[in-house]
Structure 1
Amino acid sequence: MHDIRSIRENPAAFDEGLSRRGLPAQAEALAALDERRRAVLTQLQAGQARRNEASKAIGAAKGKGDHAAADALMAEVATLKEAMPALEAEEKTLATELDTALAAIPNLPAADVPPGDGENDNALVHVRGEPASFAYPAREHDSIGPAIGLDFETGAAMAGARFTLLRGPVARLHRALGQFMLDTLTQQHGFEEVVPPLLVRDEAVYGTGQLPKFAEDLFRTTDGRWLIPTAEVSLTNIVAGQILAEKELPLRFAALTPCFRSEAGAAGRDTRGYIRQHQFEKVEMVAITTPEASDAEHEAMTGHAEGILSALGLPFRRMKLCTGDMGFSVARTYDLEVWLPGQTRYREISSVSTCTDFQARRMNARYRPEGEKATRFVHTLNGSGLAVGRTLVAVLENYQQDNGAVGVPPVLQPYLGGLTMLEPK
């Protein structure tokens, strides 16, 4: 959510930010709508003040025996009372119209975000790890996985397309990956482990920016709740409506949860395999911090995700997303893309973003700086640490053997009782 006061004071800067997003100028129209709302509010407040003043004057007039003046004042009060509901309704309508308009506008990009229209314009930051060479044609995960328990047919028969059943060895590997990621974040980087709700109300999904624009990408239950598309929703909303003390910050939360996405905007993409599912697990990182610390927090969180990939021995690269490829709520995003030898390409495995105060305004999440009475909005950040299913895919392809077996990364072997190899049936 954007601050209408800031838009009024810096219309050119706001419109320049929208232009970088490929959107038309809107500052003038928003300021005009706000001016109308404020004019009605001023009229309403003036009427309320005059009504109170006249009401007090009635008693004084009666006390002096001036019945004519008292009658005139009572008539004036009655007229003012009659006009108030219409003004209140008009102000409410204009405020709702303004809030709706502001809620539909994405966050403005940070100054260092590269311009561009889509993923081809993203900027390479660095590459880490050397892709392995194979003495045989590298296979894709969907041909490796079935022999060790990746069951596409049963999952689809049970729940439909984009659902997969994991059995036996591959299910154990999947569980080990999630636990390793969560242990790394909580034990090495100070994140607090959270088990959050998977079903949330409208307010929670609105607060992080999925509603109202992206409702079709979500699953909704019959009682009106939403299945979380990412634990970012639950974790960020921990501070919704709160005023935190500065000394409490930063707050860092991590959770391993199922995530649910309708993939409405991804029809026909990655229909094979385990890359794009309606239900998947992800370890999510969320940080709540001050504006001054948010850029450093963004770099640190991205580094945590990179550390997990490095520990798993998976080659990857970091990309800075361009203005045309960023999400709705974010000001800057780093994508980590892992090398998949079967596809001979890098694929996204983590996105780490700073949302500045955009989500905080929607959630009314604030903090009080030390020694100050006024409050400020916190900055919120989120990132995958990592997507478990996509990491599973990367392990299958990067650790594949010529006999169909899959090696277990050394850091995962303690989670699998010392097992070093997943053998095919």
Structure 2
Amino acid sequence: MHDIRLIRENPAAFDAGLARRAVEPLSAPILALDEQRRAVATRMQEGQSRRNDASKAIGKAMGQGDTATAEALKAEVAQLKETLPALEAEEKELTARLQDELARLPNLPVDEVPDGEDETQNVEVGRWGTPREFTFTPKEHADIGPALGLDFEIGALLSGARFTFLKGQMARLHRALAQFMLDTQTGAHGYMECNVPLLVKDDAVFGTGQLPKFEEDLFGTDLSLDYREYLGFKQDALDEAKKDGRFHLEADVLDDQVWNALPSPPTRRWLIPTAEVSLTNAVREQIVDAEALPLRMTALTPCFRSEAGSAGKDTRGFIRQHQFEKVELVAVCKPEESEAEHERMVRAAEAILEALELPYRKVLLCAGDMGFTARKTFDLEVWLPGQQAYREISSISNCGDFQARRMNARYKPEGSKKTEFLHTLNGSGLAVGRTLVAVLENYQQEDGSVAVPDVLRPWMGGIERLAPQG
């Protein structure tokens, strides 16, 4: 979420930042709406103040026996009581419109982010490792995996496209990777392990930026009701309460207090697209103790994505799934700490790839390729010999105060009476399925087996090789 005060102070800079994200200039209509809202708010506040002053003056006039003045003041107060609700409603509607406009705009890139429209204009900033030289033509994981327990057919039979069923040693390798990542991020890099909800409310996915703009990317449990259904639900609850003898009401009498005390209808929940949603929202609507910062959290969770807009992309194999597991890293910190925290998080993700001896490259994303909430992002791309290409395996973003504003997550700097918004960061440490793909392709053997990386063997019960099953 953007700070309207900064837009007022420097609309040209705001429009320039939007232009880098391929968004048309919007400061003028936003500021016009803001000015309209502020004018209505001023009229409303003046009316409220005048109503209060006039109400006090009525008593004074009555005490002085000035009936005419008292009656005139009563008429004025009555008129204000009629007009103020309309102003309050208008101010509320304009505020909601302004917030909705701001909520749909992406974060602005920092200066060091390169200009560009898409991934072809990202900038490589480093590489690690040398791709293995094979004595045979390496295969893609989708060709190696089925004989080892990567079953695409059962996954599709159960759930449709982009679902996979893992069996036997393949399932164990997947679990070993996840446990290795989680243990490394908690033990070596100081992230606190969390076990988080997989179903969250609207406010949570709004806070991290998935709503309102990216609803189609989510899987939801749509239990929201329209008004008639809501009334029906409440009426059914009331009828049940009457049967149980809890309420004794005339058929045409319904007290608001009784009605509001009835159970609420079920509400919508969203399956998390990443544990970033649950972890980052752990500080929503809070003033975090400055001494507790930075907060570093991690969680291993299933992630659920509709992959809207990805038709035709990575339809073969285990790269792009509707359900996958990921070890997520989240940091919450003071503004002056966020750049160093970003570099620290990148190193934590890189350490997993290096321990697995998987060659990778580090890429600084251009403005047009960054995610909605990011102001700066590094991608790590692992080498896949079967594809003869580097593919994304981790994206690590500094979001500045963009998410914190949406969540109202703050802290109080030492010596200050005012609170400030926190900075939030997130990244994959790593995506488990894509790491499994990288291990299969980089450790494949000519006989169709796959060697288990040395670092994983303690989590594999000493198994050193995945062999094709007859």
Please tell me the TM-score bracket, short chain as reference.
Answer: over 0.9
Whether 2:80 is the aligned partner of 1:36: answer no
Name the SS of the counterpart of 2:367 in structure 1: coil
CA deviation after TM superposition for structure 1 residue 15, in Å: 1.0
Q: Which amino acid aligns with 2:183?
A: D
Question: In 2, Cα distance between the equivalents of 1:132 and 1:293?
Answer: 38
Q: Which amino acid aligns with 1:145?
A: G
1:241 aligns with 285
2:91 aligns with 91
Matches within 5 A, 1:267-282: 267-282=311-326
Residues 245 and 370 in structure 1, CA contact (< 8 A), matched pair in contact too: no
2:353 aligns with 309
CA deviation after TM superposition for structure 1 residue 27, in Å: 1.2
Whether 2:70 is the aligned partner of 1:70: answer yes
Matches within 5 A, 1:45-194: 45-194=45-194
Work out the percentage of aligned pairs sharing the same amino acid: 65
Q: Which amino acid aligns with 1:421?
A: R
2:26 aligns with 26
Q: Which amino acid aligns with 1:349?
A: I
RMSD of aligned Cα (Å)? 0.6
1:260 aligns with 304
Whether 2:358 is the aligned partner of 1:292: answer no
1:204 aligns with 204
1:17 aligns with 17
Question: In 2, Cα distance between the equivalents of 1:94 and 1:363?
Answer: 20
CA deviation after TM superposition for structure 1 residue 222, in Å: 3.6
Question: In 2, Cα distance between the equivalents of 1:272 and 1:136?
Answer: 22
Matches within 5 A, 1:379-418: 379-418=423-462
CA deviation after TM superposition for structure 1 residue 30, in Å: 1.0
Alignment deviations for residues 360-416 of structure 1 (CA, whole Å, 9 cap, x no partner): 000000000111110000000000000000000000000000001100001100001
1:342 aligns with 386
Question: In 2, Cα distance between the equivalents of 1:235 and 1:155?
Answer: 29
Q: Which amino acid aligns with 2:377?
A: T
CA deviation after TM superposition for structure 1 residue 261, in Å: 0.3
CA deviation after TM superposition for structure 1 residue 175, in Å: 0.1
Name the SS of the counterpart of 1:146 in structure 2: helix
- The alignment covers a number of residue pairs equal to 425
Name the SS of the counterpart of 1:351 in structure 2: strand
Q: Which amino acid aligns with 1:277?
A: Q
Question: In 1, Cα distance between the equivalents of 2:30 and 2:290?
Answer: 33
Question: In 1, Cα distance between the equivalents of 2:104 and 2:375?
Answer: 15
User: Structure 1: any 5+ residue segments left out of the alignment?
Assistant: none
Q: Which amino acid aligns with 1:86?
A: A
Question: In 1, Cα distance between the equivalents of 2:67 and 2:279?
Answer: 64
Q: Which amino acid aligns with 1:218?
A: L
Query: 2:420 pairs with 373, 376, 379, which one?
Result: 376
Alignment deviations for residues 220-273 of structure 1 (CA, whole Å, 9 cap, x no partner): 014310000000000000000000121110000000000000001111110000
Alignment deviations for residues 319-351 of structure 1 (CA, whole Å, 9 cap, x no partner): 000011011000011000000000000000000
Question: In 1, Cα distance between the equivalents of 2:190 and 2:383?
Answer: 28
Q: Which amino acid aligns with 1:318?
A: K
Q: TM-score by structure 2 length?
A: 0.90
Q: Say which is worse superposed, 31-40 or 196-205, in terms of deviation.
A: 31-40
Name the SS of the counterpart of 1:319 in structure 2: strand
Name the SS of the counterpart of 1:324 in structure 2: helix
Matches within 5 A, 1:345-364: 345-364=389-408
Following TM superposition, where does structure 1 have runs of at least 4 consecutive aligned residues deviating by more than 4 angstroms? Answer: none
Query: 2:372 pairs with 310, 316, 328, which one?
Result: 328
Residues 136 and 402 in structure 1, CA contact (< 8 A), matched pair in contact too: yes
Q: Which amino acid aligns with 1:170?
A: M
CA deviation after TM superposition for structure 1 residue 201, in Å: 0.2
Question: In 1, Cα distance between the equivalents of 2:298 and 2:20?
Answer: 32
Query: 1:230 pairs with 250, 253, 274, which one?
Result: 274
CA deviation after TM superposition for structure 1 residue 208, in Å: 0.2
Question: In 1, Cα distance between the equivalents of 2:289 and 2:187?
Answer: 25
Alignment deviations for residues 183-224 of structure 1 (CA, whole Å, 9 cap, x no partner): 011001110000100000000000000000000000001431
Question: In 1, Cα distance between the equivalents of 2:213 and 2:311?
Answer: 18
